[in-house]
Chain A
Amino acid sequence: MTPAAPLVACVAVAVALAGSYVALGGTSYEPTPVADPCAPRPARETSGTGERVEVVLLAAADETACELGVSREDLVIALRSVDELEELADREGRSRDELEDALRAGLVRAVDEARGENLIGETTAGALTFAAERLPLGLLLSVLRGASSFLD
């Protein structure tokens, strides 16, 4: 056996293992892509006011995210607090006021569309529109976060 033979064998073993792992998809990590908020989503079966309001809120998130050019998921993550919403505005090069206006407008549009499709009644639509237009931002976020418990 030549002195190089063990070295060649070791190189072959190392390349074989690393190569087989690559072939099995070892370098292909990509997080599951998030959907385009501007593209329409498939309609969802709903039952009860609570579920319908949730659908309206998700549609509002899509409307706002589309206008701001961010993903719906980034927006929902930022809805945790006013501070996180301001961080999102900074990241996207927008002012807090711009972001707040887009959020309120998106919610009002989603409520109007839902009312037009008879998804929600006048009372619920009125309450949501009032919240979107009149409540201070912090309180509006609390309402959005706690919408489900309000309606339970």
Chain B
Amino acid sequence: MSGRRRRALIGLGIGLALADSSVVTLALPDILRQFDVEIPEVAWVLTSYNLVLALAAVPAAYAARRRPVPAFAIGTLVFAAASLACGLAPSFGVLVGARCVQAVGGALLVCAALDLLSEADGGHSDARAVRTWASAGVAGAALGPAAGGILTETLGWESIFLVQAPLALVTLLACWRLRVRPLAEPAGRPNVPANLALLLVSGALTAALFLLVLLLVDGWRISPAAAGIVVTIMPAAAIATSVVAGRFGGLVTRAACGCVLIAGGLTALGVLPGSAWWWTIAPQILVGAGLGLTLSSLTERALHGRSPQAVHGGWTIAARHAGVVVGLLLLTPVFTTALDRNEDRALRAGAAAVLDSSIPPLDKLGVAQDVLALVRAADREVPDVRRAFDDRPDDEEYQTLEERLVSELDRAVTAAFSRPFLLAALLALAALVPIAVSRREPSV
């Protein structure tokens, strides 16, 4: 098998495993409804995977450095089997449990892949292996939500996992007649500043993906497939920027530029002037460009001059996914609290809109009660107030009232996302501190 084909297969495996940290983002509203859980609980479908991946990455890397090829094969098989279990999960508990097992397989697969990539190149260029490894991870994480959204809309959320299993098995072909000599030398200490910066940036990027998707699908009621297409802007910008990343200077400058762009994009998402998807385009381009600059340059920085690489690759995976967990645990409560508060204020304004409207007085209490019933039934989800008008006349008065209620709710929901996005922007800016320190970090 040619080195190029082998690299592509290994890259596919890395992409699949790291896409899983975000691939279910657009499926969360469907999972929430199917298993009748709330937003903080459903976030565990994402959190559990990222938490276990963060915890398992370094031990998996130590295991992988001794026997990289069997480690990759075992990791892939565990990942594929757990993906099937996720797709067929009969309960929410089983789904979260299978996600944990999936993460263990993913950790082994991804860490072993670094040494396999070096060997696929004939052991000539570790730098190229690191670039391929980092890029495959970035592509997977960035494309995950869009792929997940389209699969959710067309085939259901279960298909996300069921499609992964055979794809993961195909990557096993990369192990065919591949021999990787284990490295006996000590691993050395990790690059702490670069890994800390990765943690903070990943936390910020979680907000960009997780919150943006929730805003589009749950807040503005855009279909998962349409939302998937909207959030494709981010990976497209990431890929376009990574092509010209070299023009931004060295690894540290690139990482700093990326953080600034991510912070700018997230701030813009926190102060959206309107409740329509096109307002998210420019911020997404900035976040995507920042993603393309930061993640791969920080990963390369963390691995620079360090050998054996699998162990340090493990540290970067641990840092990135710990950042995702920090982002989810930090931002989800901020978001749900703001949503509850704003929903109450919007409800009061909505009641005023109904009582002051020019619809026939006889129907005012009826509409108000129907809207309230929808709000109560939605139970911490954003209600679809249009349903209160399903069986009412198609008159101008009713249409005006319907639009006013929808607009009131949209504005309240959009504002509820403001604080978490701004908090995430601060995380991205905080990453500048370890990035500055990492300039002095020696290569070992």
Contacts and interface: CB of A to CB of B under 8 A. Distances in A.
Contacts of A134: none
Nearest to A25: B273
Nearest to A58: B355
Interface in A1-22: 3, 6-7, 10-11, 13-15, 17-18, 21-22
Contacts of B365: 54, 57, 76, 144-145, 147-148
A11 B250 CA distance: 17
Nearest to B432: A7
Interface residues of B, number: 49
A77 interface: yes
B415 A10 contact: no
Interface residues of A, number: 44
B352 interface: yes
Given A7-B260, A35-B352, A71-B348, A21 B361 contact: no
Interface string B408-420: 1001101100100
A51 interface: yes
A73 B286 contact: no
A33 B268 CA distance: 26
Interface string B265-301: 1011001111000010011001000000000000000
Contacts of B362: 50-51, 54, 148, 151-152
Given A25-B273, A31-B348, A31-B412, A15 B256 contact: no
Interface string A37-68: 00000001010001100110110010000000
Contacts, number: 127
Given A13-B261, A74-B348, A18 B355 contact: no
Pairs of residues from A and B, 10 with the lowest C-beta to C-beta distance, nearest first: A14-B264, A26-B271, A54-B361, A29-B415, A24-B273, A73-B351, A31-B349, A18-B267, A34-B352, A32-B349
Given A17-B282, A31-B408, A76-B351, 12 more contacts: A10-B257, A14-B263, A14-B286, A26-B273, A34-B352, A35-B352, A51-B361, A51-B362, A54-B362, A54-B364, A76-B365, A148-B362
Interface of A: 3, 6-7, 10-11, 13-15, 17-18, 21-22, 24-27, 29, 31-35, 44, 46, 50-51, 54-55, 57-58, 61, 71-74, 76-77, 80, 144-145, 147-148, 151-152
